[in-house]
Structure 1
Amino acid sequence: MLTAPIDHPLNLATQSVLTYGSYLVTAVLLVIAIVMGIRQKTPFYVLLIVAAFVGAFAEPLYDVGMTLWFYTPGLWNTFTAFSIPQPVWAHSGYVVLYAGPAMFICDRIAKGLTASGLYQWAAIELACSCVFEMIGINGGLYEYWGPHAFRILNYPLAIGMLETAQVVCLAVAAAELRRRSTSHWPLLGLIVMFPCTFYLGNFGAGAPMIIALHLENPSMLMSTICSAISIGFALVLIFGASKLLPAEQAAAVARRPASSHLPQTA
């Protein structure tokens, strides 16, 4: 049975760069959210950032499921749960990786984003996820220590696909909440919606991979098969979310035969 690298040294320089850098980007995103909110007369974008920042408090659940360990000696941490210390940059990282892209996707959805456009944003999110996590992993901050398959520069590709799926689901669900809300108060639901979509994507689509990682006798063969299944599930989530876009639904209605729009008579 593999165990977490509890005594692995932490790269203090990378910790400083990632901490200060991610909080700087978080500040920039917050300013952008405020400006967008003022122009559109809504607290939606700021609340989306707040939701991701607060949602990072549930990160230990993700760490246990995905066998992620933050190198401990010298770690600037906020709290410890499930014996896993949490770095201070986890909160800013959530904003940068999840709320930032979701914020821009939501804005595009309101302006008529189509499925092809959503797929492009999904590709951008996947690229951002890979870059951010590869820096953290190869920079000596943490690692996915379980028998993960499809690693690129020590980063499991399935993790990136699941993160992409959960951001897409968050954006589509959040945009729909905003579209249907008759006041600003329902937008507070974003704070609950964030962890719901986060674990829908990562623990829902990622369930086969998570089970394979935590088998009593894990194997690379089983992990590879289950990781491939989870990647497939993530793609299904992204495809399904694209069909819920208002622009796509309007186009589907427009494609129906004229007779299908007529009311049925007895």
Structure 2
Amino acid sequence: MGRMPQDVMSHELNLLWQSIFTWVSWAIALAMILIAIYLWRKERTPFYLCAVLAAGVAAFAEPLYDVAFDLWFFNADSSGTPGAMWSHFSAFGVVQPNWTHSGYIILYAAVALYAGRKMYEGRLTRKGLFAIWGLEILTSCAFEAIGTGVDVYTYYGPYELRIWHYPAVIGVLEGTQTVLFTVLAVQIWQRVSRPWGLTSLFAAFPMTMFGANFGIGSPIIIALHLDGADFSRGLVWAATFLTMALCVLAIHGASKFLPRPRTVVEPAGLPVPSSDDALLV
């Protein structure tokens, strides 16, 4: 966090909005958990609850994201003294608010709740997946534009293309991560033979979280942190659009992994596996 300006570290946290983010986000997250439990009983699968909890638990790795993307949660009072945040731990010098877990559930697990079954049954098309991606980007932008606009946290890096104070590229990356996680989660759901196998979603989430943000997002991360004369606003602009373009490619690729409807017959002419081939599989 060596590049962080002192005025960011001493910026006053808006206590009213801290309360709103904490209580409202946790109320929504708890409602999502209850819905996941209801769906477990109704459909006899813990898929939804595993997806929700996997997102919530993964928020413990949020400090890694904060360092890479220059995110700072405000923690100072009106005099600039730290300690104003309702926090549960700190890492890499970044104090973490306790609503990061509820925020992860809201932003990253919602698609599993409202579209997971549709994906599982092969009823979601490529066009539908892109529509969900767009909706998730809008949701992310709305959630974070408020948070960064009312002095709860900030992306202090030299970003371009901001919405209010919120970098648009972050919203595109978050929408991409949400879709990639849900598609992978549904693929796992289709392949496990026992409910316990769905606990692998706890490993799948960080794989897609950091694969999307640190992999697809690597151009913008590097552009933001170039040293001295190597840094330029033009490169940040270029990296912003390159990252967004890679996100489009990632969603297009993910659409190829959408389950097919069970009534669809495989194309004629494909070889039928022999019994020996089946054993090898």
Residue 171 of structure 2 corresponds to 160
Answer yes or no: is 1:143 the counterpart of 2:154.
yes
Residue 223 of structure 1 corresponds to 236
In 2, the alpha carbon distance for the partners of 1:102 and 1:11 equals: 32
Q: Aligned AA for 1:57?
A: F
Shift of 1:248: 7.8
Which structure shows the higher helix fraction? Answer: 1
In 1, the alpha carbon distance for the partners of 2:117 and 2:29 equals: 18
Structure 1 residues 225 and 250 mapped into 2: Cα distance closer, same or farther (>3 Å)?
farther
In 2, the alpha carbon distance for the partners of 1:236 and 1:149 equals: 22
Secondary structure (helix, strand or coil) at the match of 1:247 reads coil
In 2, the alpha carbon distance for the partners of 1:172 and 1:221 equals: 34
Contact 1:151 1:157 in 2 (8 A): yes
Residue 187 of structure 1 corresponds to 198
Secondary structure (helix, strand or coil) at the match of 2:193 reads coil
Structure 2: unaligned runs, 5 residues or longer? 77-83, 274-281
In 2, the alpha carbon distance for the partners of 1:6 and 1:220 equals: 24
Contact 2:189 2:198 in 1 (8 A): yes
- 1:105-184, aligned counterparts within 5 Å? 105-111=115-121, 112-184=123-195
Q: Aligned AA for 1:7?
A: S
Contact 2:73 2:96 in 1 (8 A): yes
Shift of 1:103: 2.8
Answer yes or no: is 1:243 the counterpart of 2:256.
yes
Q: Aligned AA for 1:178?
A: W
Q: Aligned AA for 2:243?
A: S
The percent identity for this pair of structures is 38
Residue 113 of structure 2 corresponds to 103
Secondary structure (helix, strand or coil) at the match of 1:85 reads strand
In 1, the alpha carbon distance for the partners of 2:159 and 2:105 equals: 25
Contact 1:42 1:184 in 2 (8 A): yes
In 1, the alpha carbon distance for the partners of 2:116 and 2:54 equals: 14
Contact 2:48 2:112 in 1 (8 A): no
In 2, the alpha carbon distance for the partners of 1:220 and 1:19 equals: 35
Residues 201-247 of structure 1: CA distance to partner in whole angstroms, max 9, x if unpaired?
Answer: 11110001001111112321111111111111111111100111012
Residues 136-186 of structure 1: CA distance to partner in whole angstroms, max 9, x if unpaired?
Answer: 000110111111111111111110111111111100000000000110111
Structure 1 residues 176 and 220 mapped into 2: Cα distance closer, same or farther (>3 Å)?
same
Shift of 1:81: 0.3
Q: How many equivalent residue pairs?
A: 260
Shift of 1:261: 3.0
Q: Aligned AA for 1:221?
A: G
In 2, the alpha carbon distance for the partners of 1:110 and 1:150 equals: 36
TM-score of the two chains, using structure 2 as the length reference: 0.88
Residue 46 of structure 2 corresponds to 43
CA RMSD of the aligned region, Å? 1.8
In 1, the alpha carbon distance for the partners of 2:261 and 2:168 equals: 29
Once the two structures are overlaid, the 10-residue window that deviates more, 236-245 or 102-111, is: 102-111
Answer yes or no: is 1:67 the counterpart of 2:67.
no
Structure 1 residues 247 and 72 mapped into 2: Cα distance closer, same or farther (>3 Å)?
same
Contact 1:102 1:171 in 2 (8 A): yes
Structure 1 residues 94 and 124 mapped into 2: Cα distance closer, same or farther (>3 Å)?
same
Structure 1 residues 55 and 250 mapped into 2: Cα distance closer, same or farther (>3 Å)?
farther
In 2, the alpha carbon distance for the partners of 1:102 and 1:239 equals: 19
In 1, the alpha carbon distance for the partners of 2:152 and 2:190 equals: 40
